[in-house]
Amino acid sequence: MSTLVVLPILFPLIGVVINAFLGKRLGEKVVGALATLMCSAAFVVALMLFSQVSVSKEHAIHAEFGTWIGVGKLNVPFGFLVDSLSSALMLIITGVGALIHLYSIGYIHGDPRANRYFVYLNLFVASMLVLVMGSNYLLMFVGWELVGLCSYLLIGFWFDKVKNAEAARKAFVVNRIGDVGFILGIMLIFVTFGTLNYHDIFAVVGDHKTAALALAGDPVAPAVLSAITLLLFIGAMGKSAQLPLFVWLPDAMAGPTPASALIHAATMVTAGIYMIVRSNALFHVAADTSNFVALIGALTAFIAGSIALRQFDIKKVLAYSTVSQLGFMIAAAGLGAYTASIFHLMTHAFFKALLFLAAGSVIHGMEHYSHAHHSAQHIDPQDMRNMGGLRGKMPVTFWAFIIGGLSLAGLPPFSGFWSKDEIIVAALHNPLVFALLACTAVFTAFYTGRQLVMVFFGSARSKDASHAEESGMAMKLPLIVLSVLALIGGGLNLPGSMWLEHWLEPVVGVHEGGFNLPIAALFSALALVALAAAWVMYRDGKRDTSLTPQLSSVSSFLNKAWQIDALYRAAIIMPFYALSSFLARVFDLGGIDGAVNGIGTLTKGIAAALRPLQSGFVRSYGLVMIVGVVALMAWLVINTR
C-alpha cells in the first residue's frame, strides 16, 4: 500500500526525466503524449488511493520512507500522508492537470520549445503533489518552493519578450517575500513543538473541536500560536495572491495560457488555502489571526473584483477574477468554514480552468487570421475590444465559456453557485466580511456578463475576429469534459447529501454550515440582475470599444488596478531611489548616470553609494581593519564582566 503512495509523484517525474533527456529525439508529439499519459497515470493512481482512503478505518494512509533529516532534535521523516483532504486535492491536481496536458498538445504545437514546456508541466504536477502529500511542514515547503520555481519558469517561458522576463522576476521576488514568512513560521513551529509532523503538532494543539490548548499553563502559548499562524498566513498571501502581495498574479498571465490555467488559476495558487486548511487546528485556536485572515480575504476579493470590472484584456479579467475568488476561499478559511473553502477551491478549479482554456481557445482562434495571412498589422489578440460575435464561429468554445462564466457568476445550478453560497452563508455572522463578499458577488456577475457579451455577442470588431476559427479536437475535448464538471461539480456538496462535508470531517471537524434558502434566492436574483445589466449595457457593442478610451477617473483607477503598482513604486521603490541617489551624490561627486527605473536604479544607487568604499587602496583596507580591531577590542573591554 505504501509504495502506491509514491507512484503519483513518480509518474510525472519519469515524464520529466525522459522528456528532459530524450525530448529532442522523441519529437514534440511523443513528448506531449508521454507527458499527458504520465499525468493521467498519476490520476488513475490517485483514484485508487482515494478509494483506499474511503474504506480505510482512520481515513488516512501514512507512508514513511525512513528518516530524511535527523540532526539533534530535528527529525524529519520522508513521509507522506494521504487523507481525505490530500486525496481530494490530488484528484483535482492530476485530473485537471491531465486535461490541461491534453489541451496543451494542441495549444503549444509548433513552438520550438514545446519539449521544455511539457517538462515544466510534469515537474509542476509532481511538485504540487509533494506539496499536498507531505506529512510534515518541511516537505510541504519543499513542494511549495518547487511549484514556485515551475511557475517562475513557465511565466518566463517566452522570455524573448522583456515583459515576460520581468513578470517572472516579479512573481519570484514577491513570492520570496511570502516564503520568508512561511519558513519563519516553520522554524517557530519547530521551536515551539519540537517537531514538524502534522500529526504530532496537531495532537499537541489538542482536539480542535474543544479548542483546549494542550500548552495551557504556558502564558505565551496563545501569543506564539498567533505568531505562527500569522507567519504561515504571510506565506499564503504570497502564493495565493492576497493583499498586499497579489500584484504578481495578473502579470503572471504572460505565460502560455494552459499554464496559466493550471498554475495561476486551478492549482498552485490554491496552495495557500490548502496550507491554512491543513493547519486548521492551529488557526482554529488563534482566533485573532483567523479574523485577520477573513478580513484580508474579503478585502482582496472586493478589490480584485472591482478591478476586473474595467479590464480589456480577456486574460486580465480572468486573472483578477482568480485573485477575487481566492479571496473568497481565504475568507472562508478565516471564518472557519474550511469545508466551504475547499469546496469552492474544487469548483473553482473546474470552472476557472475551463474559462482559461476557453480564453486560450479564443486567443488561438483570433491569431488564426494574422498567422494565415502574415498580416503586417498586428492587433492584440487578447484585447476584448477587438473581439465580438465569436459565438457563431467558435460554438464549442462559446458554450464552454458560457458554462464557466455562469458558474463563476454564481447562477444556479452551476457549480460555482453552491460553493459561493456556502461561503456567503458562513460570513453571515461577520457583517463587514459579509458586505464585502456580497458586493464582490455582484461585481463578479457583472464583469462575467460584460466579458461574455464583449467576446461572443454583437458583431466582429476586427478582421481577426471575423475570420476566427474553432480550435482542434485536442483542445475541444478538455473543454467539453471541464464543462461537464463545471456544470455538475456542485453535486460534491449539495444541500441534503453534504458529501464533501462528511468526507473532510476527519481533517477539519464538523462545521454546521449549510444551505440558506433566502440567501441563495437573493444572491441568484442579484447575479441575474447584474448579468442582465451587463447585457443591456454592452449588447449594442458600442460601449468600451474604443482602443484609446477616455476613461473616467473611477474607471481609470480600476483599470490601473487601484494604482497599487504605482503605489508600491511611490511608497517603496521611489524612496529607495531617492535615498540611493542622494547617497550616490554624497559619496560620488561625479554624479550618477541618468535614472533608469525601479530596482535597476536601486541597485545602481546602492552600487554608487557603497562601491567607493572599496577604493582599491591597500592602505585604506588596512585602515578599515584597524577600525574593526579597535571597535572589537573596545567591545570586549566593555562587555567582559
Partner 1 sequence: MQDLMLILPPLIVFLGATALLLVDLKIADDRKETVAWIAMFLLVGALIAAVMLLYFNRTGDVLYGFSNMILTDRYAALLDIVFALIGIGVFLLTLRYNRVHQIMRGEFFVLTLFSIGGMMLMAHAANLVTIFVALEMFSIPLYVLCGVARPRLDSEESSLKYFLLGAFASGFLVYGIALMYGATGTLDIATMLKQVERGQAPLLLVIGAGLMLVGLGFKVAAVPFHMWTPDVYDGAPTTVTAFMTTATKAAGFAALVRVFLLGPGAFVGSLVSAIAILAALTMIFGNLFALAQRSVKRMLAYSSIAHAGYLLAGIASVANIGQSANAVIFYLATYAATSLAAFGVLSEIGSMNRDEDHGLERYTGLAKRNPALAWVMALALFSLMGMPLTAGFTGKYLLFQSAVSSGLNWLALLGVITSVISAFYYLRVIVHMFMKEDATVAANNEQYYVSKPSLVMMTLASVAVVALGLLPTLLLNMFA
Partner 2 sequence: MTSIEPVILLSAVLFTIGAVGVLTRRNALMIFMSVELMLNAANLAFVAFAQQWGNLDGQLFVFFVMAVAAAEVAVGLALIVAIFRTKHSTDVDELSQLRG
Partner 3 sequence: MSVEFFLFLLVAAVAVVAALGLLLSRNAIYAAMFLILNMASVAVIYLLLNAPFIAAVQVAVYAGAIMVLFVFVIMLLGAEKLNPADTKLALKWQRPLSIVLGMALFLLLGAVILTRLGGAVAAKMIDTSPLAIGKALFTTYLLPFEVVSVLLLAAVVGAVVLTKKS
Q: Write out the residues near partner 2 by the rule CB under 8 A.
A: 611, 614-619, 622-623, 626
Q: Which helix (H) or strand (E) holds 20?
A: helix 2-26
613 binds partner 3 (CB under 8 A): no
Pick 536 or 623: Cβ nearer partner 3 = 623
Q: Which residue has the cell 490520476?
A: 43
First-last CA distance in the chain: 62
Cβ neighbour number for residue 506 with a 10 Å cutoff: 14
Backbone φ and ψ of 617, nearest 5° = -90, 120
Among 219, 617, 639, 641, binds partner 3 (CB under 8 A): 617
627 binds partner 1 (CB under 8 A): yes
Cβ neighbour number for residue 269 with a 10 Å cutoff: 27
590 binds partner 3 (CB under 8 A): no
Q: Which does 59 bind (CB under 5 to 8 A by kind): partner 1, partner 3, partner 2, none?
A: none
Among 26, 142, 214, 439, binds partner 1 (CB under 8 A): 142
Q: Which does 173 bind (CB under 5 to 8 A by kind): partner 2, partner 3, partner 1, none?
A: partner 1
Cβ neighbour number for residue 344 with a 10 Å cutoff: 29
Collapsing DSSP to helix, strand or coil, 376 comes out as coil
CB of 593 to partner 3, least distance (A): 24
Asked if 205 and 192 count as a contact pair (C-beta separation under 8 A), the reply is: no
Pick 2 or 614: Cβ nearer partner 3 = 614
In this chain, which stretch among 105-113, 138-146, 246-254, 615-623 interacts with partner 3, using CB under 8 A?
A: 615-623
572 binds partner 1 (CB under 8 A): no
Collapsing DSSP to helix, strand or coil, 473 comes out as helix
Residues touching partner 1, count (CB under 8 A): 58
Backbone φ and ψ of 59, nearest 5° = 55, 35
619 binds partner 3 (CB under 8 A): yes
Burial of 417 (0-12, 13-18, 19+ CB in 10 A): buried
Pick 55 or 638: Cβ nearer partner 1 = 638
Q: Which of 344, 455, 359 is nearest to 400 (CA)?
A: 359
Burial of 588 (0-12, 13-18, 19+ CB in 10 A): middle
Cα–Cα distance measured from residue 366 to residue 462, given in angstroms and rounded to the nearest whole number: 10
Pick 535 or 576: Cβ nearer partner 1 = 576
597 binds partner 3 (CB under 8 A): no
590 binds partner 1 (CB under 8 A): no
Cell of 232: 504561515
Q: Which helix (H) or strand (E) holds 60?
A: strand 60-71
* Amino acid residing at 128: M
In this chain, which stretch among 63-71, 84-92, 401-409, 477-485 interacts with partner 1, using CB under 8 A?
A: 63-71
Which residues 67-86 are close enough to bind partner 3 by CB under 8 A? none
Cell of 600: 535597476
Cα–Cα distance measured from residue 326 to residue 304, given in angstroms and rounded to the nearest whole number: 10
Q: Which residue has the cell 473546474?
A: 350
Pick 142 or 439: Cβ nearer partner 1 = 142
Cell of 570: 511611490
In this chain, which stretch among 227-235, 334-342, 494-502, 626-634 interacts with partner 3, using CB under 8 A?
A: 626-634
In this chain, which stretch among 10-18, 80-88, 284-292, 632-640 interacts with partner 3, using CB under 8 A?
A: 632-640
Q: Which does 634 bind (CB under 5 to 8 A by kind): partner 2, partner 3, partner 1, none?
A: partner 3
Pick 374 or 619: Cβ nearer partner 3 = 619
Q: Which does 547 bind (CB under 5 to 8 A by kind): partner 1, partner 3, partner 2, none?
A: none
Cβ neighbour number for residue 543 with a 10 Å cutoff: 13
620 binds partner 3 (CB under 8 A): yes
Asked if 179 and 235 count as a contact pair (C-beta separation under 8 A), the reply is: yes
Pick 505 or 588: Cβ nearer partner 2 = 588
Under DSSP, the state recorded for 134 is B
Q: Which does 203 bind (CB under 5 to 8 A by kind): partner 3, partner 2, partner 1, none?
A: none
Q: Which residue has the cell 567591545?
A: 635
In this chain, which stretch among 39-47, 179-187, 406-414, 618-626 interacts with partner 3, using CB under 8 A?
A: 618-626
629 binds partner 3 (CB under 8 A): yes
Which residues 71-130 are close enough to bind partner 1 by CB under 8 A? 71-74
Q: Which does 630 bind (CB under 5 to 8 A by kind): partner 2, partner 1, partner 3, none?
A: partner 3
Cα–Cα distance measured from residue 471 to residue 257, given in angstroms and rounded to the nearest whole number: 14
586 binds partner 3 (CB under 8 A): no
Residues 6+ apart with CB under 8 A from 441: 410, 420, 424, 523, 526, 527
Q: Which does 22 bind (CB under 5 to 8 A by kind): partner 2, partner 1, partner 3, none?
A: none
Cα–Cα distance measured from residue 381 to residue 385, given in angstroms and rounded to the nearest whole number: 9
DSSP state string for 68-132:
EEEETTEEEEEEEEEEHHHHHHHHHHHHHHHHHHHHHHHHSTT-TTHHHHHHHHHHHHHHHHHHH
627 binds partner 3 (CB under 8 A): yes
Asked if 254 and 315 count as a contact pair (C-beta separation under 8 A), the reply is: no
Pick 572 or 632: Cβ nearer partner 2 = 632
Cβ neighbour number for residue 515 with a 10 Å cutoff: 15
Q: Which does 187 bind (CB under 5 to 8 A by kind): partner 2, partner 1, partner 3, none?
A: partner 1
Residues 6+ apart with CB under 8 A from 167: 155, 156, 248, 251, 252, 254
154 binds partner 1 (CB under 8 A): no
637 binds partner 3 (CB under 8 A): yes
Residues touching partner 3, count (CB under 8 A): 11
The residues that touch partner 1, with contacts defined as CB under 8 A, are 67-74, 141-142, 145-146, 149, 156, 159-160, 165, 168-169, 172-173, 176-177, 179-180, 183-184, 187, 190-191, 599, 603-604, 606-608, 610-611, 614, 616, 618, 620-622, 624-625, 627-629, 632-633, 635-641
The residues that touch partner 3, with contacts defined as CB under 8 A, are 617, 619-620, 623, 626-627, 629-630, 633-634, 637
